[in-house]
Structure 1
């Protein structure tokens, strides 16, 4: 091997080594912040009952908007869970975005819906709405049919029809627990409307017993791919977003379950239809508005509210999802790139943007290079072999140990999974993450980067099986 090649290998190995140290330092800091925040949260709230939450004097009315495209497998369960929420004043708006399956037929028949004449205030531009229905058995349930325009367009159509000052976006394949909306609205209510957006935790429903839109018992799926996604969600929601939310730096609140001030969203122009990451892009745009208007408003993440959603159970579906998510991340960061390291945008510009650019966005490329370097070094031997061992240990710390700690956080704070056997399985699977699951997701995220540069805008389709074990049609 030539001297030049040796120096080149050491140079790239050094870059990967320094990068991994930076990532581990960042994650360690976030773990510490999350630990302190969760300890404070549950020390303060451990005696608060659901009844006390529902007795908040100034509860704000909320419009729940459910964009639905070919969601026949789970839409009835999702709507039933929303109608069962413990919330004093709300309406549920299901937006059928040109579905080609039986979503419309099932909704109209099951909820006994009739067409109504409804004047829609066109505050946001959308594809034409073809009909509006109201349920005869649930007067607060509306159903819109419209031409297909994508999820962002469907959400904008729901905002146009909504009558309340706050709206909650919920995916058509998701189930909310009865007090979830109360808890996610709490920061808005207690802050005297200073909080303009709030997001809740997402949990994976595969394997959980759900009947008639209600969670009967919680258990893990038997499928390894689903278990790894459970661990991934725990780390993302319970650690990353809790830590960033503490200082108003969170850039992502999941579109599957989030509440927004309608006034702010309309002023911002609604959901952007030219990106596949419309939920993140809207949050970033709101942060930008807050700073440009020199406002004290905030965006918060609430760790406790649980929204159960269906996760991909096969490689094909998960690959499409992760590539799409990463493409959406890149689109949001690039559109608002002027915020990066810009003191005008405070901690969001100086900390959040560099973190998302360096660790979340470009991380897959560097990690993929790390895996390639390790494989090459094992075959080369010598000093490269010893250096590769160090990198492997760093990868295990980052990819597996942090996930194992996240599982312990879950067991200590939220206790979503009550069975000790489920927690043991989560803990054991966490250790294997770096050896098979993380390399897969890194490769798929790199595909998302490629799709961004090729400007591919396809959404991709995930096969829905539905969340209930007992069908509502039976």
Structure 2
């Protein structure tokens, strides 16, 4: 057998492997889309407003601490706080944790809300960088500011847990805002489960370009930035399709750190947020799953699509690159730290299904897709037979990378009446069809960078310039 024939056979074999992988991915995502559709169809029949009114009395005895880690968030922290103060929830406290900001975050909050120093005994249940001062608002007694040495987001959250006084805590990013009923709705699965649900994550949506005043959404509308609009599509696919389906079987390994609620007792038992990974939110969820599997408790971690957290998305390629490689690095680190859970029947479906899904599709997916793009290009120069391979592979990329995104946009519009203007819906659908040609290849490279950074042990978060959520930021 000559060398050209061996090379040709090997190339064909790689093509079959890539096609098999992509068909498997398409099958999995099709199943997830169907599950999400059935779930949303059921929820669509509910009268949400009546459910909210009934919930107020039901959860009256379950107060919540809202923890806002803030590092150089002067552009958006006031809007964040105003949105939290307006929440329709019986009893809650707000802890803004100033994690050694070098800008005017601390002074701005102190001045705006008339903060005064507060003497408070802090129970150090989790190790953190030293807390320097605690302030309480004279205007809103349930609002406090914690000033501490810089230790990173995970350390700031742990400090907030130490200071908190309620049995559940909600973490929300300093550049994000909640709808008035969001906390009420994200807490409902926890309360209705009789303590079987120990954590819940809410839906995160992009608000760049919206008209926001005093932390309240006045007018929605699509931003003019193409890169931001593409992220809107991506968020719909990730949250509306992926996490709804995984939550149906208690397989969620990621609930966004931008908006999630946890049982404080269980979080303290597993050691709180880890400062040794850049993906502290996922790492905590995986630790909770491990603790549940070790004790054989019937506990659940869920995602609920209805409560909405509005956040600011990167509006430059540089900022998006920093964010995506950090997210993927966090995924790699969390899966590696808890690798003994993978394919382990001790952890039930989490070990046998969820871990393989996140390992083979989410973590290694970018590497395989990168090989696929290279294979597609090389195939065009390898002869007629390989052009057929290239065509099949290109169709699977189009189906996986664009059509599922388009389906997610349509699912969002159908289930939640998100786009009252038909031109906005058409704009996003058409944009979704272009994803595979420019946006997805870029994010693939950035996610591969995240894997490389994880292998090299880099811990830098990187910097994303924030503009603050306002009418002009699109």
| Structure-2-length-normalised TM-score | 0.97
Which structure 2 residues correspond to residues 437-452 of structure 1 after superposition, within 5 A? Answer: 437-452=439-454
Q: Give the whole-Å Cα distance in 2 for the aligned partners of 1:322 and 1:100.
A: 25
Quick one: distance in 1 between partners of 2:79 and 2:392?
49
Question: Superposed, which structure 2 residues align to 1:342-357 within 5 Å?
Answer: 342-357=344-359
2:413 paired with 1:404: no
Task: State the distance in 2 between where 1:107 and 1:125 align.
Answer: 26
Show the 5 A alignment for 1:61-72. Answer: 61-72=63-74
Aligned to 2:307, the other structure's residue is in SS state strand
Query: 1:187–1:195: 8 Å Cα contact kept in structure 2?
Result: yes
Q: Does 1:197 align with 2:179?
A: no
1:210 corresponds to: 212
Answer yes or no: is the 8 Å Cα contact 1:152–1:278 preserved in 2.
yes
Question: For 2:45, what is the secondary structure of its paired residue?
Answer: helix
User: In 2, Cα distance between the equivalents of 1:413 and 1:183?
Assistant: 17
Relative to structure 2, which stretch is displaced further, 2-11 or 411-420?
411-420
2:75 corresponds in structure 1 to 73
CA distance in 1, matches of 2:323, 2:419: 25
1:225 paired residue number: 227
- Give CA-to-partner distance per residue, 1:398-434, whole Å, 9 cap, x none: 0001001001110111223332221111111010000
Match in the other structure for 1:460: 462
* Structure 1 partner of 2:111: 109
The answer as to whether partners of 1:218 and 1:416 remain within 8 angstroms in 2 is no
* Secondary structure of 1:308 counterpart: strand
CA drift at 1:47: 6.4
1:40 Cα offset (Å): 1.9
Contact 2:60 2:90 in 1 (8 A): no
The superposition leaves residues 255-274 of structure 1 with CA deviations (integer Å, 9 ceiling, x where unpaired) of: 00000000000001000000
Deviation at 1:376, TM superposition (A): 1.0
User: What does 1:100-249 align with in structure 2 at a 5 Å threshold?
Assistant: 100-249=102-251
Question: Does the 8 Å CA contact 2:208/2:470 hold for their aligned counterparts?
Answer: no
**Cα distance between partner residues in 2 of 1:210 and 1:421:** 22
Q: How does 1:314-333 map to 2 (within 5 A)?
A: 314-333=316-335
Distance 2:88 2:178 in 1: 11
Structure 1 SS opposite 2:310: strand
Following the alignment from structure 2 to structure 1, what is the Cα–Cα distance between the partners of residues 401 and 190?
A: 35
| Matching residue of 1:336 | 338
User: In the aligned structure 1, how far is the partner of 2:470 from the partner of 2:401?
Assistant: 33
* Aligned with residue 395 of structure 2, among 393, 396, 400: 393
Show the counterpart of 1:435: 437
Structure 1 pair 470/6, CA: closer, same or farther in 2 (3 Å)? closer
Give the SS at the match of 2:50: coil
Supply the distance in 1 between the matched residues of 2:162 and 2:432 (Cα, whole angstroms).
Answer: 44
Superposed displacement of residue 131, structure 1: 0.6
Which of 286, 289, 309 in structure 1 is aligned with 2:288?
Answer: 286
Q: Secondary structure at the match of 2:461?
A: coil
RMSD in angstroms over aligned alpha carbons? 1.3
Aligned in 2, Cα 1:59/1:413: closer, same or farther, shift over 3 Å? farther
Cα offset, 1:116, TM superposition: 1.1
| SS of equivalent residue, structure 1 residue 91 | strand
Contact 1:213 1:468 in 2 (8 A): no
Aligned counterpart, 1:89? 91
- Give the one of 255, 265, 269 matched to 2:271: 269
Aligned equivalent of 1:383, options 376, 382, 385:
385
Aligned to 1:364: 366
Alignment coverage as a number of residue pairs:
471
1:29 corresponds to: 31
